[in-house]
């Protein structure tokens, strides 16, 4: 059957590339992936999958950092203008994007779950000849938006996996659930999907990320850990405006409070127990040059190598924000916008994936590479492992001209093939080995 | 003739109020006063004034802080949508707003110049019952824009003055130039008007500001001084974005540079020689929560009681901006956006205005009130006085529910009548006294 | 008698210079002027003055910013080593320095009070050939201490005045009180003297300061105002030490709290109503390079053109200190160390001094020069004026090679003669004019 | 022979405790260990060791952070007053403390080197009943100084080891060098000892630290790693003083520059490659409350898990210091005060020490514990390993009532016995196993 997989990979490669580039040109940010959801689900139509949208996919209240209503309405209008059918849009309205595709073979066998995240970032993509998407004419067509983290490729792998499952349906046992998750950036979507129960009965959970390590494409890490736990908060300072020339002392300066908070947040002490992070990613304050600023809005995140370390960071961050408000006699509002936890892949996947891919000529499996970033996939992994299932998160490495979230971010598309092939071979291996479950449990 | 003026004031008052409220509802910011320019010039049509628009009013290159092309195009479209005729708009395109209205009697006599500024501010007007414009239904109809400094009233006084001059044309000698100046906020428009030569041959320059001092309306200060010199600069920090979790050390953080600059700018040492000011009015930085911010834009102003003090502030500000860039290893771009100088009113106006208004029953003339703010009218006053003319800037006081540039700013409309009456009576007095010039020179 | 004064001035000049230079060589800081007090009082011995020391001069509890007991004991030992008799020292122990010298003529007449401050500063005096005290060998002999504000000269004028009064005793009427006040720097001594009642029955209060304005020596301002009100506070942050490599997160960093407080204090907003000042003069924190600092001590002062403005500054300063403690989770202790209030000289002194000095060939009297600094003499002036007396504070100008409190501060000794002559002539004038009191009241 | 070691340990324990407590009572800081050096070398007298002092021990110019001459002279006087013979002191003058003790058996065999650091810290020791040294009357007798890192115990182990070697001299082969190193705190002494060649021919280098991990005493780690590389720098800002009330703008504020540098140093971005540290341990600035501070001195250290990471920190620190100077227009002087590098223990010691100590009933050997701090012993380890020798650094764990460098730091004295026993048994094992070298090389 190894030959069969190789042949499938050859056939599927053009689709993978086409799908990746299509997604790359229409980047949409979290909870606004209206066109993305529509076009991806169109790819799966008629292939035997049952599709679940909207509040069937995720619990509305468990989403975090949902954009405001006005923005979503604009985006929904954009989707209609683009050609998404009104009745299709209806079920996604108000930021209920993404979908689950379920293939139930009806035969006894293990439950597999796969997750692909599909959102983009508010970054203006570089437009220079050295940037491959620009040179090869699939650069982002949406000003200020970019697939700068590789989720375009994740979506493409998801489509490729669906093609494989549909094609091999007759040979398969068990149930296969592909989750196209919205709003991974900022850790905003996964928890709402988990809350809906999609991971409750998964025996095997397979997922992964393209890039991360600048290694030859074809290199795949069977597992990772060192997921940073992360908290996302918005801080809003409310002061009082005044004419900055006539009576500066009567104002209460929200911009200064935010500036002070920023410096102090970045100065939170390192922790003896491991890696931590903090970032004030955006700061918007003030209404005019000669007006004491009465408002300032900051988007902040903290991270920690463990959940405890992230709590340490968050506790310090909140104290600093309150003290900054007190420093300038302004009011503070805090809003919690997203969260990712720390989690571990099942360590035995190292051996499983290695054996599963022995037959491949294109893959170089390494047992483990650290991730060192946050991913809300950890909510899914945790749920699977709590329920007795096995979960891993792979890394599909690629040479990287620039880091993730950089305007020049890109990767080699062979990494997508490598990722898809690894997922397929691992599925195939687990299935053959009498469900593989016993082996893992051993 | 005093009786005639009183009668005129009674007739004109409804127009003053109507014009003020009309302007209040359509606030437009500096160099985008397209509707304002059109509607004000319509008021003067057919009254014997020659009107000068666009580059006849101001030197294009001497304008400071002109909004970017995209914004101006949007505003021009808005003006067309509102009903400004396309050919009228044509001559203002690209931010050439405002106009000069000239009444030449053809009879030998002094040259009078008057200046009224017409721009609004990017402030969201309060919408509570206690706020008179809200209660009386003339609150701003443009979201986020507001006449929060009283220029709506200045425009109305200008219309009233034009009515008076048109009506009395037969009795007048000399030449009368009314300047409706754009973009006073930020000190961006006056220099470009001065450069065009409009003040070069003025014998008398009369101008003024509503509000400033919270005194009973009807109180008018014949002159002021303590104009703060002011410099307006934009600072842009350019760094390098990076994923804030994966590799925070590879970014160069523009947001932090701006935050540090902000704190240090507000800490510039007081100066022994007198009052100074500094304000970072706006700060916008970063593109996403989990991205090291690669850009930050700050709108800054400095002020000083004298030109030297403002230079001291600006010199320190520039050093701090450069050091902040060095602190975070980012690049700095500086743009000079506006400037106002310090100036003095001719002190003898105190006596002139007092005598001129002796007959009035409504006016309480005080010789002098300090202004303590910046005003680019100083460029005009300086030019007039350099050329041997006499210049004053009056204050039309009013009880103020909130300070200038505050969302609840408002004033009593009697202050507008008081202002107009004072301008008319002073003109009348100077004209009668054989040009008055000799007297002043004495 | 004018001739008599001129003759006296010629005789006294060598003593003035000798006394000034003697004091300059033995600078002592506030409440530690043990040698200074002893040597000055020795100069007045046997001249008919009654001398009041220790708690007869000042109320112990009303002193502010008294150095700690250990330091005072060291200083007392130093004084003993220097040669101050033990029984003389006894009455000054614990920082009760300075003295009052009273000459009561027994004849009916006005009560005059004079004040001379005698303390130095913790500044290392410059030792370069261009610095006159270094070149002429009267540079400070106490390392790290310096008469950098001119109080050495004030003490000398006080001795000169005592000589004059002693010599002319037979011709005088009324009572003459010379106050040699300790601890003017930091506004720490005057209030304790006032509290003792020394100013309660003064008809005329005359005082002054050498330097301030860089004008030819001989120029004397009859009065001043613009005394800045001032508050002196010490802030101590108490945190928790920890090894900075092993467990930085367990410390609570007092040094960082102080650094943050410093930046924010210097950023307190300017006030529309007039001049303000703030200074963190000293900061001492931490015990070792690799230890998280658990203590930080700051010496802070605020000033304002009016008492209200100083209150504004102090209120902001206290809020900032508290917020800085909260920012770094450390404790804050505040100690109030000194205070000066704003006050005005009686404006009619301008005329009095001018007339009094008409006969002088050496003096150039100007009615008024601003001081722009703080002086706790204001407590005395206020008390005198409350009780119906007349008070002034003169300025004895001199060319200044460097500003007050600078290591190269110096002045021309002719300024001391000018000061003494002005005080004598004004006293003489007031006395002759039948007490002068009536005239002032006119 | 195991029995022999156990018997020796029983005999030596009282001496270990006595020596530790003696040292604890006379803490001396780095390069001022005059009494410590004298008293320790007295303990070794007449036991067959050749002793090397002063510049025979270390290269004068390679010492870092040597205290200034005045301080050293005071300390030398203190040592004389204490009873150190003048001729003994002579060879240590100017901060040349510590000594090497060499026992050459004259028989062919391996070269062993041992290192014990002997300096204390400028910390005031706690004086509460709960603190064992206070309760048992061996608290520090030097105000402000304390053995708060356990070097008192290291010195005691060194004396115990010398006793053992002297006693067993007849049975030993090879050469034994015991280094009593000054100034470990701040990483100031080791490089100067290494430079003198003491480690060039060592076959085995054994060293260790008491405490670090809060584990039962008796627990000994055979090796460690995760030494943080570290750089120690002093920064001095030189500005210009001015009267803070009269002319604040003419000063150039060194205190503000230091405060700003402090905040920004603590905000250096985390690094993706591992742990980093930064600390501003002390800050001293300013000369008086009402004087703009013209000087500020900071003691700073950076650390990194690797030499590269410490370089990253230092590079950023230097840029920040320069920018802070530019921010306030003051001058900056940098002095490099100490350095420690990262190093690894030879991993095979884990097995060697375990086997060596098998016979012990008191020791619980663990192969490895991380240290997570900086130690200039790394210079010695690196030199040994470069030359082909084997080096380890052990951890003699103990329950810790408070962390290292804390005023309440203490440890159980059994940890000293455990440390000494481990060093003896490991030496014994290596010697027996035919020099052991072959085994390690295998």
All chains having 3 or more CB pairs closer than 8 angstroms to chain C: A, B, D
A270: chain C residues, CB-CB within 8 Å: 248-249
- To the nearest whole percent, how much of chain C has pLDDT over 70? 98
Nearest residue of chain A to residue C317 (CA atoms): A327
Range of the domain at C219: 2-227+343-441
Question: How would residue C437 be classed by pLDDT, with cut points 50, 70 and 90?
Answer: very low
The pLDDT value recorded for residue C313 is: 97
State in Å, rounded, how far the first CA of chain C is from the last one: 26
Inter-chain CB proximity D271 and B248 less than 8 Å: yes
On whether both B40 and B70 belong to a single domain, the answer is yes
Inter-chain CB proximity B246 and D329 less than 8 Å: no
CA distance A282 to A236: 12
To the nearest whole Å, the CA of B103 is away from the closest chain C CA by 41
Q: ipTM beyond 0.90?
A: no
Question: What pLDDT, in 10s, does the model give residues B200-224?
Answer: 999 999 999 999 888 999 999 998 8
- To the nearest whole percent, how much of chain A has pLDDT over 90? 78
Q: Was D375 annotated as part of a binding site?
A: no
CA dihedral of D118, D122, D124, D125, whole degrees rounded to 10: -20
Inter-chain CB proximity B405 and A263 less than 8 Å: no
Inter-chain CB proximity C276 and B270 less than 8 Å: yes
CA nearest neighbour of B398 among B182, B223, B187, B149? B149
On whether both C286 and C386 belong to a single domain, the answer is no
On whether both C233 and C223 belong to a single domain, the answer is no
B246: chain D residues, CB-CB within 8 Å: 272
Looking at D340, D355, D377, the residue that finishes a domain is D340
Q: Was D149 annotated as part of a binding site?
A: yes
The pLDDT value recorded for residue B345 is: 81
Question: What pLDDT, in 10s, does the model give residues A109-156?
Answer: 999 999 999 999 998 999 998 999 999 999 999 999 999 999 999 999
Structure tokens, A24 = 């790359």
Number of domains in chain D: 2
Q: Average pLDDT of A33-42?
A: 97
CA distance A6 to A361: 9
CA distance D51 to D99: 7
Residue D171's SS3 state is helix
Q: Which CATH number characterizes residue C302's domain?
A: 3.30.70.360
On whether both C196 and C256 belong to a single domain, the answer is no
C276: chain B residues, CB-CB within 8 Å: 270
Give the angle subtended at the CA of A134 by the CAs of A132 and A136, to the nearest 5°. Answer: 65
Question: How would residue D437 be classed by pLDDT, with cut points 50, 70 and 90?
Answer: very low
On whether both C219 and C116 belong to a single domain, the answer is yes
Inter-chain CB proximity A323 and C324 less than 8 Å: yes
On whether both A191 and A270 belong to a single domain, the answer is no
All chains having 3 or more CB pairs closer than 8 angstroms to chain A: B, C, D
Q: Are B109 and B432 in contact (CB under 8 A)?
A: no
All chains having 3 or more CB pairs closer than 8 angstroms to chain B: A, C, D
Question: What pLDDT, in 10s, does the model give residues A317-373?
Answer: 999 999 999 999 999 999 998 888 888 788 889 889 999 999 888 899 988 888 777
Question: What pLDDT, in 10s, does the model give residues C39-60?
Answer: 999 999 999 999 999 999 999 9
CA nearest neighbour of B205 among B387, B66, B28? B387
Q: Mean pLDDT score of chain B, rounded to an integer?
A: 92
To the nearest whole Å, the CA of A188 is away from the closest chain C CA by 29
The pLDDT value recorded for residue A337 is: 85
The pLDDT value recorded for residue B290 is: 87
Question: How would residue A309 be classed by pLDDT, with cut points 50, 70 and 90?
Answer: very high
Residue with tokens 């240590």: D92
Question: How would residue D408 be classed by pLDDT, with cut points 50, 70 and 90?
Answer: very high
Which class for D3: exposed (0-12), middle (13-18), buried (19 or more C-beta within 10 A)?
Answer: exposed
Beta bridge partners of B113: B177, B205
Question: What pLDDT, in 10s, does the model give residues D40-86?
Answer: 999 999 999 999 999 999 999 999 989 999 999 999 999 999 999 99
Inter-chain CB proximity A248 and C270 less than 8 Å: yes
Residue among C267, C275, C276 minimizing CB distance to B263: C267
Structure tokens, A153 = 């490729």
SS3 annotation, D373-420: CCCCHHHHHHHHHHCCCEEEEEEECCCCCCCCCCCCCCCCCHHHHHHH
Instruction: Indicate if the pLDDT at residue B439 is higher than 60.
Output: no
Q: Was C149 annotated as part of a binding site?
A: yes
Instruction: Indicate if the pLDDT at residue D436 is higher than 60.
Output: no
On whether both D209 and D143 belong to a single domain, the answer is yes
Inter-chain CB proximity D289 and C300 less than 8 Å: yes
Question: How would residue D438 be classed by pLDDT, with cut points 50, 70 and 90?
Answer: very low
The pLDDT value recorded for residue D367 is: 86
Inter-chain CB proximity D245 and C303 less than 8 Å: yes
Residue among B123, B246, B259 minimizing CB distance to A291: B123
Instruction: Indicate if the pLDDT at residue B236 is higher than 70.
Output: yes
D29: chain C residues, CB-CB within 8 Å: none
Spacing of C-alpha D19 from chain mean position = 18
Q: Was D151 annotated as part of a binding site?
A: yes
Spacing of C-alpha A359 from chain mean position = 31
Question: What pLDDT, in 10s, does the model give residues B76-126?
Answer: 999 999 999 999 999 999 999 999 999 999 999 999 999 999 999 998 999
Q: Mean pLDDT score of chain C, rounded to an integer?
A: 92
Instruction: Indicate if the pLDDT at residue C389 is higher than 70.
Output: yes
A274: chain D residues, CB-CB within 8 Å: 275
On whether both B57 and B129 belong to a single domain, the answer is yes
Spacing of C-alpha B23 from chain mean position = 15
The more confident residue out of D9 and C341 is: D9
On whether both A116 and A189 belong to a single domain, the answer is yes
Question: What pLDDT, in 10s, does the model give residues D246-301?
Answer: 889 999 999 999 999 999 999 999 999 999 999 999 999 998 888 999 999 999 99
Half-sphere exposure (Cβ direction) of C150: Cα atoms closer than 13 Å: 28
Numbered residues of chain B with Cβ closer than 8 Å to any chain C Cβ: 263-264, 266-267, 269-270, 272, 274-277, 372
pTM of the model as a whole: 0.79
Q: Which CATH number characterizes residue A406's domain?
A: 3.40.630.10
The pLDDT value recorded for residue D49 is: 96
Residue A86 has a CB neighbour count (10 Å cut-off) of: 9
Looking at A308, A323, A339, the residue that finishes a domain is A339
On whether both D75 and D118 belong to a single domain, the answer is yes
Question: What pLDDT, in 10s, does the model give residues D412-433?
Answer: 999 999 999 999 999 999 998 7
Question: What pLDDT, in 10s, does the model give residues A261-283?
Answer: 999 999 999 999 999 999 999 99
Residue B180's SS3 state is strand
CA nearest neighbour of B393 among B272, B222, B253, B183? B222
Numbered residues of chain A with Cβ closer than 8 Å to any chain C Cβ: 246-251, 253, 256, 260, 264, 267, 269-273, 312, 319-320, 322-324, 326-327, 329
Which residue, among D405, D407, D408, would best test binding to C if mutated, counting the most C CBs under 10 Å from its CB?
D405
Q: Mean pLDDT score of chain A, rounded to an integer?
A: 92
Looking at B279, B309, B339, the residue that finishes a domain is B339
Q: Average pLDDT of D201-216?
A: 93
Q: What is the DSSP letter of C252?
A: B
Instruction: Indicate if the pLDDT at residue A158 is higher than 60.
Output: yes
Q: Average pLDDT of D309-316?
A: 96
Inter-chain CB proximity D403 and C337 less than 8 Å: no
On whether both A59 and A169 belong to a single domain, the answer is yes
Residue among D253, D312, D323 minimizing CB distance to B323: D323
Beta bridge partners of C238: C295, C331
On whether both B55 and B132 belong to a single domain, the answer is yes
Q: Average pLDDT of B380-390?
A: 91
Instruction: Indicate if the pLDDT at residue B434 is higher than 80.
Output: no
Structure tokens, C270 = 């300017």
Which residue, among D213, D261, D265, D266, would best test binding to A if mutated, counting the most A CBs under 10 Å from its CB?
D266
Q: Are B114 and B206 in contact (CB under 8 A)?
A: yes
To the nearest whole Å, the CA of B261 is away from the closest chain A CA by 9
Inter-chain CB proximity D323 and B326 less than 8 Å: yes
Q: Average pLDDT of A304-325?
A: 95
Half-sphere exposure (Cβ direction) of D29: Cα atoms closer than 13 Å: 23
Residue A356's SS3 state is helix
Q: Average pLDDT of B29-37?
A: 97
- To the nearest whole percent, how much of chain D has pLDDT over 70? 98
Within 8 A by CB and 6+ apart from A434, the residues are: none
Inter-chain CB proximity C322 and A320 less than 8 Å: no
Residue B226's SS3 state is coil
- To the nearest whole percent, how much of chain B has pLDDT over 70? 98
Instruction: Indicate if the pLDDT at residue A287 is higher than 50.
Output: yes
Residue among C212, C282, C374 minimizing CB distance to D287: C282
Q: What is the DSSP letter of D50?
A: E
Question: What pLDDT, in 10s, does the model give residues A186-236?
Answer: 889 999 999 999 999 999 999 999 998 889 999 999 988 778 899 999 999
CA distance A33 to A44: 17
Instruction: Indicate if the pLDDT at residue D176 is higher than 80.
Output: yes
């Amino acid at each position: 059957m190894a030959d069969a997989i190789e042949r499938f990979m050859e056939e599927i490669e053009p689709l993978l590339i086409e799908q990746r580039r299509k997604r790359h040109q229409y980047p949409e940010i979290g909870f606004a992936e209206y066109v993305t959801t529509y076009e991806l689900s169109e790819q799966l139509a008629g292939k035997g999958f049952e599709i679940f949208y909207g509040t069937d996919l995720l619990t509305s209240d468990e989403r975090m950092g949902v954009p405001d209503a006005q923005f979503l309405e604009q985006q929904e209008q954009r989707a209609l203008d683009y050609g998404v059918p009104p009745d299709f849009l209806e079920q996604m309205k108000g930021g209920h994007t993404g979908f689950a595709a379920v293939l139930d073979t009806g035969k006894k066998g293990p439950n597999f779950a796969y997750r692909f995240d599909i959102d983009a970032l508010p970054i203006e993509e570089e437009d220079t000849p050295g940037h491959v998407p620009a040179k090869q004419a699939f650069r982002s067509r949406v000003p200020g938006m970019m697939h700068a983290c590789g989720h375009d490729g994740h979506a493409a792998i998801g489509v490729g996996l669906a093609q494989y499952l549909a094609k091999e349906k007759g040979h398969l046992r068990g149930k296969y659930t592909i989750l196209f998750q919205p709003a991974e950036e900022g850790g905003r979507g996964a928890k709402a999907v988990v809350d809906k129960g999609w991971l409750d009965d998964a025996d095997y959970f397979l997922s992964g990320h393209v890039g991360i390590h600048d290694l030859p494409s074809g290199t795949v890490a069977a597992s990772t850990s060192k997921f940073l736990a992360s908290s996302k908060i918005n801080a809003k300072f409310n002061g009082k405006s005044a004419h900055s020339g006539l009576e500066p002392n009567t104002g209460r300066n929200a911009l200064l409070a935010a500036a002070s908070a920023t410096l102090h947040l970045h100065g939170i002490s390192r922790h003896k127990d491991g890696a931590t992070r903090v970032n004030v990613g955006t700061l918007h304050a003030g209404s005019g040059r000669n007006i004491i600023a009465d408002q300032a809005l900051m988007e902040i995140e903290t991270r920690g190598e463990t959940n405890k370390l992230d709590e340490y960071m968050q506790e310090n961050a909140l104290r600093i924000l309150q003290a900054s408000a007190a420093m300038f006699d302004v009011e503070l509002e805090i809003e919690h916008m997203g969260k990712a936890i720390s989690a571990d892949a099942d360590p035995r996947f190292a051996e499983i994936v290695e054996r599963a891919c022995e037959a491949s000529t294109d893959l170089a499996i390494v047992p483990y590479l650290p991730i060192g970033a946050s991913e809300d996939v950890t909510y899914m992994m945790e749920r699977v492992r709590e329920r007795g299932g096995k979960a891993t998160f792979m890394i599909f490495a690629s040479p990287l001209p620039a880091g993730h979230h950089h305007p020049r971010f890109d990767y080699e598309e062979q990494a997508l093939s490598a990722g898809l092939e690894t997922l397929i071979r691992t599925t195939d291996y687990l299935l053959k080995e009498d469900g593989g479950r016993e082996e893992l449990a051993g």
